[in-house]
Structure formats: C-alpha cells, structure tokens
Structure 1
C-alpha cells in the first residue's frame, strides 16, 4: 500500500474512532442539553444561576458516572422524552445524587458546613446538621429534598413552603417542631411605641418578646394567624403517578410514603401534601373571629352528645331519629334571631318540623320540651334529696360508702347536665333514658343511706 493510501486510511480510522469521543464530549455540554425544546427554560434558569459554570452532567450524574455507558443510556431516555413529548415541560423529576453536591470541589460535608449558621431570610437562620439529625418518621433527607426546582424563575431554590410543611404538619402552635424559637430569636426589643429610639431607664420595665415568654404569655395572643393550613394528604392525586387505585389505600402510611417518596427522591412534597402558609395578615381580628374553635375549642359538645346518643354507663347508644338520613343542624335551625349579646343566630323553628313532616308536627317541639322539662324537674328534686341523704350520714357510715354515693351523685348530675346544656329535645328518647339512669342513681343513694341513718 502506498504511503498516500496509508495516510488516508489512518486519517479515516482516527476520524471514525474520534467521532464517538467527539459526540460524547459535545453531548456532555450544557448547550447540548439546552438545544431540546423541553429543556430551554431549565437551561435559561441554569444560565442565570450561581451554578452556570458547573456543567449539567456534574450535578445530574454522580461523581465518576458522567462519561459512562450508564450515563449515555440515561441521556437516551431524555432523548426519547424529547421525541415523544409535544409539550414544553419535563414530566420526570430530576434526580440529584447527594455525592454530586458534597464533592471536595463543591460543598464538602465537613464540620464547617454542617454547623455553619446560614442566614436563610432576614430573620431566620439555618443549620444543616440539625436537620440531618432530626427527621420525620421514614424520611432520609437529601440535598434535593430542600434544594429543588419549585419555580420557573429559578433553576432550584429552597422553598419556604417546604420548611413550613415539615415544621407545622401535625404540631400544635409553638410546640415540637413548630416552636417559634427554633427559627426566630427571642427579641429584647421593646414592643411599646413610647420606648422606640430612647434609652430605657432602670426603673421602667418595657414589654418585650422575652419578658412575655418569661411571664408565660402564649404566642397565640398576638400571632395565632401566622400558621394556616394542615398539610393534608391529597389521596386522589396518587393516581397522577400510580395506575392502581390500591395505591391510595397506603397513602396515610407515613413511614412507607416518606421512604418511597422522600428518601427515594421520587416525588416532591407537594405532589402529595396541601401547603401550609406562615405569614402575617392585614386583619388579624377577622382570622380569630371567623374561627369559633380558637375561643370555643369544643363548642356545642353537649348538643353533639345528645344528637349522637353516645353510650354511657346504664344508657345504650341511642342516636337521634334523623341521624340515619344525615339531617344536620341547619335542617331545623331556620329561624333568624339574636342571642343575649345581640349576635345574629339561627334558632330551631316549629315551622321546620312541619315543612318536612305534617302540620300536626308543628306542636311537637312544645310537647317534647314540656315532657322533658317535667321529668328533669323531678330528677333535680331527687338529686337534691340524694345530696341531703349524703350530708346526713357523714361520720355515721364508712368513708368508702360516702365516696361511692358521691360518685353516683356526680354521674347522675352529669347526665342531667348533658340534657340541660345539650337541649334534650334534640333527642327525646335518649334524654328520657339519661333521666332514668340518673334517677336510678339518686334513688339507690337515698334507699341505701336512709336505711343506715
């Protein structure tokens, strides 16, 4: 073979061998990633970020994996997504290996990074080690658990909503993971305007957050509106990722869900949870005014006890007659009125009975009320007689018998209290059964103690 042909052959062989290497190099460049229509906005946010000098493959592939066959097959999967998708978004969640972040060239997880107090916002600092040491059941936090893509304006960021979900889900206000001082320093700054900009003299004690904390004043006194929402699981959204409806049956298994989705980096928190907000509002009084449970944590508990006819000692479970057809308060409380404080309320109305039943039922409320009131008066008189019997035998019978009698008296009075405060006509049958049980207690006390007087 002539020297010329050898040279041509050598050049051709080199060209053939270098093409894969050249393509491998070209396909590892950020510009190649950004050439796909579904990647353009991600490329743009990357190019505007602090990581613009870090190639895509340095983060999206673990150290040592960037130039392997495995990496190329992963790239092919993105190519198939590109060819098959007419849309402009990537449906598959990006996976970032922690090792890509903590290499010696980037953010080595040494003591300095682990314990460094980082200013997250103007008033909130963050320490990595604290969050790795204390996680929620089933979780294994990864860098991308907090540092992820949540906005089209940034390639990735730390979303405050993620912080709020972990800190406030399943916690009482200012308790556990939701304690204020975990993120906020207790301030010594005076809260009264008269102390603004002046030196506080020694004999004047200004009100500060610290003085309020020391005095045991609850944070809810001023900040109850700051946390809203419960972060509930949206089980119907399971079907966005899972074909089988059986997947929803396991949705409330916290440990399993966190292992598969958080530790496994398969989903974003808000693919499953509703968000929790943590911010001030303009009208703080309206927040409290519209939520009765803030001031009345168990409002209408006696009415509910009467309507559900809960099982008690000596009284079987006896729900109100209309429970089976799911009749609620608004079916009967149709008449507009005002309470003792002048607040508008809805009262029970005889006309509501007639509207559903017959005209004859219009008198039913009065009849039931009269019957219950008569029986209740008799029971109260019997309670007074039982209490008198207990007083008369003090020192004449054993303390154990007196204590037993008092327990029976207390239980009977509690039954009458349910009827009075729950309005017995909500469930006439159950109310009469409560009165009978209470009367049995009172009469047993009277008979027992009078025999030994």
Structure 2
C-alpha cells in the first residue's frame, strides 16, 4: 500500500500535492503521530504517561464499581415491573436493610463479576418477556447466611422452638430448606407472583399478602424432613428439595410431536380419606407419629416436645378415652380445634392461592356457630381428623351385632347427624366422589327412609 501511494505521489503535479496536503488528518491519526513523536527517553514524559494511565485505570475502575453497585441495589431491581412481588416482599421482610446481592451472590469479587456477566440474560428476558412465573433456580448459599447469622444457636427468638442449628449445619442442610420464605414469603409456592399479579403488589396490599405463616419456617417442612430421615433418606442432598417447584416447560413440545414435559404435582391438595392421594396417607402417618402412636424405628422423635418447649396439651385431652368422646367438644369448639389440627401445619407444601381473595380479606375471622354439618365436612376433609375417623370406632362392636344394635344410638336428629360424620345418608350420585371414610351409606338398608323423618 505504501509503495502504491508513493508511486502515485511521484506522478502527481505539485498543484495536486499541495491540495492533498491541505486535507485534514483524522483525530486518531493526529494523536498517534504526536504520541510517536514524543521523546520517551525523557523521564518527565514517562511520568506523564504513567499519570495518564493511572488516571484512566482509576476512572475505569470507578465506573465499573459504580455500575456494579447501582445494579446491585434493591432500587435497581424494582425498576423491572416483573420484579414487583419479589421487591415488595423483600421490603416488608426482616432482610429489608441489606442488598439483594448479599443473599443471592456468593461472597467474593470474582463471584460478583461472574454474576453480573450471567445477569445479562435478565436484560434479554426483560425485553422479550420473562418466564411466567419467575422461579428461583439458584439457591441462596449457606455461606451467604453465615455473613450475618451464627451457626451456634439452639432456642429461637420466640423461646418456644428448640432447633439445634449446629447439628443441622453439620449435616450440610441448606438454610433455605427451612427458611425458604424469610424474604419473599413463598410467593412461588403460593402461586401469586405470575404476570397477572404484578399490579396488585403495592405497599397498600403487602400486609395482606405477606404474613408470618409464610415467612416463618413451616412445621410441615420440619416434619417432612424428619420423616424422610427416619426412612433413611437425606432429602436436602438434592437442592431441588429446597427450591420452589418450577412449572416452566410444562407445555413444552405441545403440538409439535415432541415429548410433553409434565410439572411435578402439588402435594398440598389434601382431601378426605376415601379417594384421596398418597399425601393424605403420608400426612396421617406423620400425625400418628407426632401424637405418640407410632414410634417404631424412629431415628428422630416426631413427638411435639422434641422441638417445642411451650406447647401444652389441653386439659380436656387428658380425659380417659378422649379419642372416643371428643365429638361434643369438637361440635362446640371446632374453631379452637382447627388452630392446632389444621393440615397446613402438618404438610410441607402450600396450596395455591388467589391474590384477589387475599387482598379482599379484611382480617376479621368469621365467628364459629356450632354446626354439625361444618363439623362433618371438617372431619372428612382434615387429614388429622380422618386419620382416626377412617377407622371403625371401638364402640361399633362386630358388624353382625352392630347392625341390629345401633338403632338406639341414632334415634334423634342430633344423634343421626353424628352418624353422618362418617356415613353418607344417601348413595352418592353417579360420577361424584364421596369424601366419607366408608362406603356404607344409611339408605343402603333404610331404603324408605327413617320413621322420624316421614311426614316432615
């Protein structure tokens, strides 16, 4: 190229050469010429170069640090509309005074930089549309929690629970296995962080959407894990056990001949004994262990007092044969019974919720009015109640004797109502599934009805 230019210049006239010389040289070329013409043997010039390079390095470092600091702040995270559930729950949580990165990025400058590079895909998702719902796939590491929390802790702040954190940590159990909802109230498990919910995540609604029962460890998590340990398993070894169930890709391949992916079934859908899933049986087995009726081969005691210091069994429960005579108390004080015996306390998973219903909830509990129909429904639907109600009561004698002897036990309307707790009065309609723990219904024998009901 240089030779070609040289030959061209020799052929041009002096007038043309003068015109070419008047052309402006580019900025970069001028700077480069000046740089080449500098006398680098002069120590003053070398010091000047060193100062310029140092200044440039500081400027670049400051810019990079500022960018990292800005993109690590909660205010930056909230700038994306799709992060409304995560941001609002974070602001209302006990961790609201720390940065998101303190939990979600493993400590260290290298990890911070790598995370920022990986996070470029979040920008892409923000433009083309994020996954719906957004599900955490990278766990919060134990080392992150250790920046603020001590391993050597036995009794919780409430003073009731006895939790040996040191032993759990020794077993390498991730903190989030128990504390999954501490910052974001398990919004994924509850099904209230989809795109249709973003506009409802406001400061005005946050108190109704984020309650202690979702931020505190769920007793069902402890029980489920202890139950698995008693069966020789270590469920926490699979990190998926500690993360929310992801439904992404559930419809993948639909209609294109590809294999259709299926989401993991949600185990919190508990119904009565008859016609229910394995979840109900599993819950009932756990309940029986917790109330001291099954202790064979238990490596970890499932008794309530293993973990609780202040739990007191009501005096009424100390009555002889309480399990056979508590029906009257349940009828009068069902709301009190449900406080301890609700299924949500015994199972790990949380049932899906409707965010609009949660927002409408005014927090005022409806007063319970004794109603045998309500008691019947609760005793059938509750895994705790149906654990026993699914078994034949001792007072029923043998079937052949009970058949002719039970009339006196069902003479009045109230007495019959107690029978209906376990028995359907009429044959269930075709195509419907009864929640009764037995398939014996009254009109199987009493086909014309009852004398006391005729003419009513």
TM bin (shorter chain): 0.3 to 0.5
- Structure 1 or 2: more strand by fraction: 1
Higher relative contact order (CA 8 A, sep 6+): 2
Alignment TM-score, normalising by the size of structure 1: 0.40
The alignment's TM-score, normalised by the length of structure 2, stands at 0.40
